[in-house]
Structure 1
Amino acid sequence: MARIYISLGSNINKAHNVRQGIAAMGEFISDFAVSDVFESESVGFDGSNFYNLVCGGETSLSVDEVCQTLRQIEVDNGRDRSAKKFSSRTLDLDLLVYDALVVEKPAQLPRHEIDKNAFVLWPLAQIAPSIVHPVLNQSYLSLWDNYDKSQQSLWAVEFDWQGII
Structure 2
Amino acid sequence: MSRPRVSRAYLSLGSNLDPEANLASGIDALREQFGEIVLSPVYRTAAVGFDGADFLNAAAVIETGMDPYSLNAWLHALEDAHGRDRSGPRFGNRTLDIDIVLFDDRVLQGAGNLHIPRPELKHAFVLRPLAEIAPDVVVPGDGRTLAQIWAGHPDREQAMETVAL
TM-score exceeds 0.5:
yes
Q: Give TM-score scaled by structure 2 length.
A: 0.90
DSSP 3-state at the match of 1:8: strand
Residue of structure 2 aligned with 1:103, choices 98, 108, 119: 108
Contact kept in structure 2, 1:10 and 1:90, CA below 8 Å: yes
Residue of structure 1 aligned with 2:120, choices 113, 118, 123: 113
Contact kept in structure 1, 2:101 and 2:118, CA below 8 Å: yes
> After the TM superposition, which residues 116-135 of structure 1 pair with which residues of structure 2 at under 5 Å, given as runs?
116-135=122-141
- In the TM superposition, residue 150 of structure 1 has moved relative to its aligned partner by 6.8
- In the TM superposition, residue 26 of structure 1 has moved relative to its aligned partner by 1.4
Residue equivalent to 2:11:
6
5-14 or 28-37, larger mean C-alpha shift? 28-37
AA in 1 matched with 2:146: Y
The number of equivalent residue pairs is: 158
AA in 2 matched with 1:87: G
Residue equivalent to 2:68:
63
CA RMSD of aligned residues (A): 1.5
Give 5+ residue unaligned stretches, structure 1: 161-165
DSSP 3-state at the match of 1:96: strand
Residue equivalent to 1:163:
none
Residue equivalent to 1:138:
144
Residue of structure 2 aligned with 1:155, choices 146, 155, 160: 160
Residue equivalent to 1:16:
21
- In the TM superposition, residue 27 of structure 1 has moved relative to its aligned partner by 2.7
AA in 1 matched with 2:118: R
DSSP 3-state at the match of 2:115: coil
DSSP 3-state at the match of 2:48: coil
Distance (Å, rounded) in 2 between the aligned partners of 1:79 and 1:142 = 33
Residue of structure 2 aligned with 1:94, choices 99, 121, 129: 99
AA in 1 matched with 2:56: Y
Q: Give TM-score scaled by structure 1 length.
A: 0.90
Displaced runs of 4 or more, over 2 A? 27-31
DSSP 3-state at the match of 1:108: strand
Residue equivalent to 1:27:
32
Do the aligned partners of residues 144 and 47 (structure 1) sit closer, same or farther apart at CA in structure 2, a change above 3 Å counting? same
Residue equivalent to 2:85:
80
75-84 or 27-36, larger mean C-alpha shift? 27-36
73-82 or 105-114, larger mean C-alpha shift? 105-114
Give 5+ residue unaligned stretches, structure 2: 1-5
